[in-house]
Structure 1
Amino acid sequence: MNKRIYLNLFIVSFVIMGLEMTAARFIAPSFGNTVYTWGIVISIFLIGSSIGYMAGGFIGDQSYSHKMMHFLYVFGIMTVALIPMIKDFMFPYLESFSSTLGTTMGVTILYFIPNIIFSSMGTILMKDGLDEKVSGKAIGSLHTASAIGSVLGTLVTTFFLIPLTHIHSVISVFAFMIFFAYLCYVEVKAASQILLVLAALLFVFLPFFSAKVKTSEILHKTTSLYHDIYVYQSTSFNGKEGNYRYLTFGNKTTIQGVIDLDDPDRLVVDYAKSVWQISDVFAPKSEKVFMIGHGIGTLTRKFEQEGKQVKVVELDKGVLEVSRDYFQYEGNSVEIGDGRKLLKETKDTFDVMVLDAYNNTHHVPFHLISREFFSLTSEKLNDDGILIINAIGNPKKDAVIESMNTTLKSVYPYVYIFAKGEKKGLQNLTIVGSKEPLDSKKITGQHVIKVNEGELILDGDTKLRHLN
C-alpha cells in the first residue's frame, strides 16, 4: 500500500484533534471553559465528522474523487488559516448571547466546515488505501495510522504547541501540515493545479499576519498552557492619570491586575485594597498566609513586605514569569500547582487564607468553592484565622454568589459579604469566613450586604450550570 496514504491519513487526523484542542483557547476568553464548553465542542466536532464521513464516502466512490481532493486540500487550508480572523471579527457580536448559545455558535462558525472537509478527506484516503481485495489487515492498518495521528494531535497540541507559542502560530502549523500533506498526495501537472498549490501556500502564512495586526499596541504577549497572556501599558486607569501597566487573559477589557509603575507598592484595584484591609483589620497579628492565585503579584508582595510567611499557589507558570518580567515581583513565595491539592498536602496551618482564582472572567473554579474545599480550608486555619474570597458577582439574584454564601455557611459559623454598596450589577465582592464573630463596622468604605440562600455546592453535585 502506498505510504503516502498512511502519511496523509496521519496528518489529517492529527490536525482534526489538534483543532479540537485549540477550541478552549479561542472560546474560553469569551464564554468560559466549563464542562458545557467541552460538551458543545465535542458534539459539534462529532456532528461535523459524521457529515464529513458520509460526504467523503460518496465522493470516494466517484471517478472524480482524486480531482476533488485538490480542492478539499486547498479549502481545508483556507478554512483553518482563517480561524483567527473569523474569531476576531465574529466574537464581539457573539458575546452578547448566553454562554451556551455563544459557545455553540462560536464553535460552529470556527470549526464546523474545516471538520467536515478533513473528515471527508479521511474517508477518501481510507478508500484510496484499500486494495481491490479488502482485507482486515489493510483496514486495521489504516485505522491505526488515523488513531496515532489523533492521539499525537491531542497530546502535542495540548502539551507542546499551545504552551510554547501563540495560538495563531499553532493554527499556522496546522495549515502548513495540511499543505505538506497536499504536496505529498498530489502530482502537480496542469497550470491550474500549480495555481491551487500557490494559493494554498499563501494561506499558510495568514495566521501570522492576523496575529501581528491584532497585537500592534500590546507591550507583551505570550501563550501559556492555560491562557493567552497580554500585558498593556496605559497613561490612565479609572479616570486617573498615571503610568499604569496591566495584565489580561485574551482581551483588553478583562483586567487581572494593575500596577502603578510610579508607585509599584500601591494597591491600585479595589479588590486588592479590600482583601488587604480585611486581613489587616481582622487578623492584625497574623504571621502565616496562604493564597491561591498570584496574578501580577501585588498582594503577594504586600504580604511579603509586612514580614508575613507567605505561601502562594499559582496554577499558571506563565503568569508567574510575567509577574517577574513586567510587574516587578521579586519574591520566592510562589509555588506552581493546583491550590486545593497543595493546600491538602501541606502540614502547616495559617492565620489568613486568600482565594483569588478564576477559570474565566467571573467564576472561581468549581473545586475551589465546594463544601469539601471550604472544610479543607477550615482544617488548615487557626481558630482565630479568616478565609477571604475575592468574588465577582451581583449582590441581587446571583445564583453563584448565593450558593457560595450557603456553602460557606455550611462550614463556617460566621460569613460576611462586603461590597461598596447595595447597587445592582456585576462588581467585586469580598466574602469572609470566620470561626469567630468579627466586627464588620471596622471596615471603612464597605459594608456587609445581605445575600439570599442558594444551592449547596458539593464536589459531586452542583446544579449551577456555570460551575460545571
Structure 2
Amino acid sequence: MRGPVAGVREVGLGLAEVQADPDRPGGWLLTVNGITQSYIDLDDPTHLELDYLRYLAYVIDALEPFDAPLDVVHVGGGAGALARYLAVVRPGSRHLVLEIDAALVKFVDERLGLRAVPGLEVRVGDGLTEIATLPSASADVVVADAFEGLRMAAGILGAGFTSQAARVLRPSGVYLLNLIGTTHQLDAVHAMFPHTALLDGDVFAGYVGNQVLAASRVPLPLDALYRKVEQAWPPTRMEAGTTE
C-alpha cells in the first residue's frame, strides 16, 4: 500500500474516485460514477459512516458468541469497510470478497490497502457465478452488496443465487442483503430463509435510505438485535417476521 492517496481512475464499472474526508482525519470515501460505494476510517475501522453498514454490523454484533471470529463471504467488496470493522471487533475472522471489477480492486488496494485487511482474500469474478465454486457449509455470514449504479446486480434476488447462498452458509448462518428502495421481489429469499428481520431508517425522524434484510434458516437473535436497534443513532427501526 502506498496510500492513502486521493485519486481518480477509470475502472471496469466507470470512473472511480477516492477522496479524503475533510471533516474526519482518517476518513476516506470511495465513489464510482459519483455514487458512494464505501466509506472507511483508517484510524478507527469501527466507525461506520454509512447507515446500511451500521445495520449490517447490528446484525453481526448480535450473533453469539459475541466476540467469536466468523467466516464471511462478501459479494461486492467496495473498500472493505465491513471486513475492516470485523477485523477489530471479531479478530481472527476470515473474509472472502467476490468482486467483478479487477481494476477497481487494484485501485482500492493501491490507495486504501484493501488486501492488507487482516484475514481478507479477494477473488476477482462475478459473484453470481463464483459463489457456486465455494464449499458447502463454509460460511457463517454471506453479505450480498453488489450493485450496478443504483440498482442491485441482476440475479441477486433470484432463486439460483439465493440457493447458492444457502448452500454456502452453515445451518445457523445468516444471509445479509443490502437493498435500495422499498419494493423488492423477495419470494426466493423467504422460501429459502423463513426467519427474517428488515432494518432501515426511522422515517419519522427523516432518516430514509438503504435497507438491510437479515435472513436465516433458524431463528435470528432478535432480543440482542432489538437492543442494538433501540440504542442506535441515527434512529433505526426493525421489522421481524417468519414464514414458518
Length-normalised TM-score, structure 2:
0.80
Higher relative contact order (CA 8 A, sep 6+): 2
CA-to-partner distance for each residue in 1:376-401, whole Å, 9 max, x for gaps?
Answer: 2112211111001111213xxx3xx3
For 2:45 and 2:166, locate their aligned partners in 1 and report how far apart those are by CA, in whole Å.
33
For 1:413 and 1:261, locate their aligned partners in 2 and report how far apart those are by CA, in whole Å.
37
CA shift for structure 1 position 230: 1.3
Asked which structure has the greater CA Rg, the reply is 1
1:351-362 equivalences in 2 (<5 Å): 351-361=140-150
SS of aligned partner of 1:377? helix
Q: 1:409 to 1:319 in 2, by over 3 A?
A: same
SS of aligned partner of 1:268? coil
Q: 1:243 to 1:443 in 2, by over 3 A?
A: closer
The answer as to whether partners of 1:297 and 1:323 remain within 8 angstroms in 2 is no
The answer as to whether partners of 1:312 and 1:335 remain within 8 angstroms in 2 is yes
- 1:314 aligns with one of 96, 99, 116: 99
The answer as to whether partners of 1:289 and 1:351 remain within 8 angstroms in 2 is yes
Q: Indicate the RMSD between aligned Cα atoms, in angstroms.
A: 2.5
CA-to-partner distance for each residue in 1:174-217, whole Å, 9 max, x for gaps?
Answer: xxxxxxxxxxxxxxxxxxxxxxxxxxxxxxxxxxxxxxxxxxxx
SS of aligned partner of 2:55? helix
1:205-216 equivalences in 2 (<5 Å): none
The answer as to whether partners of 1:391 and 1:428 remain within 8 angstroms in 2 is yes
Q: How many residues align?
A: 220
Alignment of 1:433 with 2:244, yes or no, is no
CA shift for structure 1 position 365: 0.9
The answer as to whether partners of 1:271 and 1:430 remain within 8 angstroms in 2 is yes
Q: 1:422 to 1:409 in 2, by over 3 A?
A: farther
- 1:279 aligns with one of 49, 60, 72: 60
Q: Percent same amino acid among aligned pairs?
A: 20
Q: 2:29 corresponds to which letter in structure 1?
A: Y
For 1:247 and 1:287, locate their aligned partners in 2 and report how far apart those are by CA, in whole Å.
26
Alignment of 1:376 with 2:164, yes or no, is yes
CA shift for structure 1 position 266: 2.9
The answer as to whether partners of 2:196 and 2:214 remain within 8 angstroms in 1 is yes
Counterpart residue number, 1:407:
188
1:143-182 equivalences in 2 (<5 Å): none
Q: 1:281 corresponds to which letter in structure 2?
A: A
1:140-289 equivalences in 2 (<5 Å): 219-236=6-23, 242=25, 244-251=27-34, 254-283=35-64, 284=66, 285=68, 287-289=70-72
Structure 1 residue ranges (4+ consecutive) displaced by more than 6 angstroms after TM superposition: none
Counterpart residue number, 2:181:
393
Counterpart residue number, 1:343:
131
- 1:300 aligns with one of 83, 88, 100: 83
SS of aligned partner of 2:171? strand
Structure (1 or 2) with the greater strand fraction? 2
SS of aligned partner of 1:334? strand
The answer as to whether partners of 1:286 and 1:352 remain within 8 angstroms in 2 is no
CA-to-partner distance for each residue in 1:245-284, whole Å, 9 max, x for gaps?
Answer: 2111112xx2111123543553222222221221121354
Unaligned 5+ residue runs, structure 2? none
SS of aligned partner of 2:13? coil
SS of aligned partner of 2:85? helix
Q: 1:346 corresponds to which letter in structure 2?
A: L
Counterpart residue number, 2:202:
421
For 2:172 and 2:198, locate their aligned partners in 1 and report how far apart those are by CA, in whole Å.
18
CA-to-partner distance for each residue in 1:274-308, whole Å, 9 max, x for gaps?
Answer: 21221121354453211111101121223344211
CA shift for structure 1 position 425: 8.2
CA shift for structure 1 position 354: 0.8
Q: 1:419 to 1:264 in 2, by over 3 A?
A: closer
For 1:231 and 1:389, locate their aligned partners in 2 and report how far apart those are by CA, in whole Å.
25
CA shift for structure 1 position 348: 4.1
Q: 1:304 to 1:260 in 2, by over 3 A?
A: closer
Structure (1 or 2) with the greater helix fraction? 1
